[in-house]
């Protein structure tokens, strides 16, 4: 029975990712995603409490997948940026999900447990890399982390079906930009 | 009569900015914004054709205001970034409007006439500044423009009521980051 519940939750979160990425929180329909997940609405509300709770859980689940797939390497920020860019390109629904979440649950993402903990770890790692002389220290570590993420995401607000040459150019610019931002000056 | 139409359009675009910034395209209600603008729905459709047309017109109008308020200075990108950051802080509805537009009208913003023309002018200006040795040329001018905008916007995804110290720290980091990205290396 526990294994059943785990499988059901995984299907619900997958269907929720698709539904919220397409329509956002206000536009999402729980009955539509329930049908897609092969679960019933009552069970979804029993697990997640509300449509908002399910939206937050879908973001957390996607962030967990990202954290597993793309380890943060403070000593190689250009490499991290490229890996994150590639992950996001392969999961376009994740970028949309995150943008909707910023608009419809403003300020909530930073407080989600996974996100908050992983941000703290990233900031600590950049601080250590700065003290070791591996990363420039003219920016405080929290701002450096935020900038790296912002620069990665700047390349992702692409029209659907961005052409491969354009993507390759962005990936190259990304590496150059992060090197300029993060390489120690001395 | 022409003056009347101009004033009515200005009121409609202001009400549309408020409505779309709060609810996005799918969630916006034309009758609610018509009431706020003191205009009738039929006239709005006569002017803008559709809810999508009105959403695009609201974005264009906001971009025109931004272009008037914040001149692009390719030879001083850190200064431009700071001015743009301040403008966006003073107009929080503009950031929300732009995020909704990316989600609900993907790929359309770059093709809006004002936006497209101003992007071309920015890229040309950065190209000239690079040739004059005022801006580093390790990135192509279009990528440099995009990165500067991305770095500015990274500081704006703030929880509502961000505290002044935090904002001041972001503004300082912004200037440092753009200097590192844009200052000629030689």
Asked if residue B63 belongs to a domain, the reply is: no
Question: Has residue A30 got a pLDDT over 60?
Answer: yes
CA A33 to CA A44: how far, in whole Å? 10
Query: Of B71, B59, B52, B79, whose CA–CA distance to B148 is shortest?
Result: B79
Residue of B nearest to A157 (CA): B102
Please state the rounded mean pLDDT for residues A112-119.
89
Domain co-membership, B107 together with B27: no
How would residue A11 be classed by pLDDT, with cut points 50, 70 and 90? very high
Query: Of A147, A149, A155, whose CA–CA distance to A172 is shortest?
Result: A155
A64-96 exposure pattern, b = at least 16 Cβ within 10 A, e = fewer: eebeeebebebebbbebbbbbbeebbebeebbb
CA B88 to CA B96: how far, in whole Å? 10
Considering only CB atoms, which chain B residues are within 8 Å of A100? 103
Q: Are A103 and B100 in contact (CB < 8 Å)?
A: yes
Q: Decide which of A18 and A177 is more confident.
A: A18
Tell me B158's DSSP state.
Answer: P
Asked if residue B136 belongs to a domain, the reply is: yes
CA A29 to CA A7: how far, in whole Å? 21
Q: Are A150 and B149 in contact (CB < 8 Å)?
A: no
pLDDT at A171: 82
Show the domain range for A37. Answer: 1-50
Please state the rounded mean pLDDT for residues B49-59.
97
Question: Has residue A21 got a pLDDT over 70?
Answer: yes
What would you measure as the largest C-alpha separation in chain B, in angstroms? 60
Domain co-membership, B163 together with B81: yes
Q: Are B24 and A26 in contact (CB < 8 Å)?
A: yes
Asked if residue A80 belongs to a domain, the reply is: yes
Asked if residue A14 belongs to a domain, the reply is: yes
- The answer to whether B135 and B75 have CB atoms below 8 angstroms apart is yes
Question: Has residue B157 got a pLDDT over 60?
Answer: no
Q: Are A177 and B139 in contact (CB < 8 Å)?
A: yes
Q: Give the CA distances from residue A2 to residues A16, A18, A57, A62, B183, in Å, rounded to whole numbers and listed in that order.
A: 21, 25, 19, 22, 58
Number of domains in chain B: 2
Angle, in degrees to the nearest 10, between helices A92-104 and A2-27:
60
Domain co-membership, A84 together with A33: no
Please indicate, yes or no, whether the overall pTM of this predicted structure exceeds 0.90.
no
How would residue B176 be classed by pLDDT, with cut points 50, 70 and 90? confident
Domain co-membership, B128 together with B38: no
CATH of the domain at A162: 1.10.357.10
Domain co-membership, A46 together with A74: no
pLDDT at A104: 93
Task: Give the one of B139, B153, B176 whose C-beta lies nearest to A173's C-beta.
Answer: B139
Interface probe with A: pick from B100, B112, B166, B177, most Cβ of A within 10 Å: B177
**H helices of chain A, where?**
2-27, 30-37, 41-48, 51-69, 77-90, 92-104, 113-131, 141-154, 164-182
How would residue B2 be classed by pLDDT, with cut points 50, 70 and 90? low
Q: Please tell me the least confidently modeled range out of A110-119, A161-170, B14-23.
A: A161-170
Tell me B130's DSSP state.
Answer: H
To the nearest whole percent, how much of chain B has pLDDT over 70?
93
Domain co-membership, B103 together with B173: yes
pLDDT at A111: 87
Considering only CB atoms, which chain B residues are within 8 Å of A106? 159-160
Domain co-membership, A82 together with A174: yes
pLDDT at A54: 97
Query: Of A142, A138, A114, whose CA–CA distance to A126 is shortest?
Result: A142
Question: Has residue B159 got a pLDDT over 60?
Answer: no
**ipTM for this model:** 0.81
Domain co-membership, B75 together with B120: yes
Asked if residue A96 belongs to a domain, the reply is: yes
Asked if residue A74 belongs to a domain, the reply is: yes
Q: Decide which of A8 and A166 is more confident.
A: A8
Q: Decide which of B58 and A180 is more confident.
A: B58
Q: Are A106 and B160 in contact (CB < 8 Å)?
A: yes
Asked if residue B61 belongs to a domain, the reply is: no
Domain co-membership, B167 together with B76: yes
Q: How many A/B residue pairs have CB atoms within 8 Å?
A: 91
How would residue A163 be classed by pLDDT, with cut points 50, 70 and 90? confident
Question: Has residue A144 got a pLDDT over 70?
Answer: yes
Domain co-membership, B24 together with B87: no
Query: Of A65, A71, A78, whose CA–CA distance to A171 is shortest?
Result: A78
Q: Are A143 and B169 in contact (CB < 8 Å)?
A: yes
Question: Has residue B55 got a pLDDT over 60?
Answer: yes
Q: What is the mean pLDDT of chain A?
A: 89
pLDDT at B22: 94
Please state the rounded mean pLDDT for residues A126-147.
92
Domain co-membership, B46 together with B130: no
Please state the rounded mean pLDDT for residues B65-91.
92
- The answer to whether B133 and B78 have CB atoms below 8 angstroms apart is no
CA-based radius of gyration for chain B:
18
The label of the residue with tokens 């408020």 reads: B18
To the nearest whole percent, how much of chain A has pLDDT over 90?
58
Asked if residue A39 belongs to a domain, the reply is: yes
Question: Has residue A1 got a pLDDT over 90?
Answer: no
Q: Decide which of A158 and A29 is more confident.
A: A29
CATH of the domain at B43: 1.10.10.60
Three-state SS string over A33-75 comes to: HHHHHCCCHHHHHHHHCCHHHHHHHHHHHHHHHHHHHCCCCHH
Compute how many other C-beta atoms are within 10 angstroms of the C-beta atom of residue A54.
Answer: 24
Out of B30, B54, B78, pick the residue that ends a domain: B54
Q: Are A159 and B106 in contact (CB < 8 Å)?
A: yes
CA B128 to CA B135: how far, in whole Å? 9
Query: Å from A106 to nearest chain B CA?
Result: 6
pLDDT at B155: 64
Query: Å from A30 to nearest chain B CA?
Result: 17
Q: Please tell me the least confidently modeled range out of A182-186, B94-98, B132-136.
A: A182-186
Interface probe with A: pick from B156, B175, B180, most Cβ of A within 10 Å: B180
Please state the rounded mean pLDDT for residues A57-79.
94
pLDDT at B73: 95
Domain co-membership, A34 together with A90: no
């Amino acid at each position: 029975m526990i294994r059943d519940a785990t499988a059901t939750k995984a299907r619900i979160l997958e269907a929720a990712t698709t539904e919220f990425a397409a329509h956002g929180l206000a536009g999402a329909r729980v009955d539509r995603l329930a049908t897609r997940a092969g679960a019933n609405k009552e069970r979804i509300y029993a697990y997640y409490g509300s449509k908002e709770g399910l939206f937050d859980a879908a973001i957390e689940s996607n962030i967990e997948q990202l954290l597993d797939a793309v380890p943060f390497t403070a000593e190689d920020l250009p490499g991290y940026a490229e890996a994150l860019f590639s992950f996001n390109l392969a999961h376009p629904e994740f970028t949309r999900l995150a943008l909707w979440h910023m608009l419809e649950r403003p300020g909530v993402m930073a407080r989600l447990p996974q996100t908050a903990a992983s941000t703290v770890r990233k900031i600590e790692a950049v601080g250590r890399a700065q003290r070791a002389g591996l990363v420039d220290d003219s920016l405080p570590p929290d701002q450096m982390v935020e900038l790296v993420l912002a620069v990665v995401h700047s390349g992702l607000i692409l029209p659907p079906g961005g052409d491969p040459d354009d993507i390759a150019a962005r990936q190259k610019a990304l590496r150059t930009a992060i090197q300029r931002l993060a390489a120690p000056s001395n």
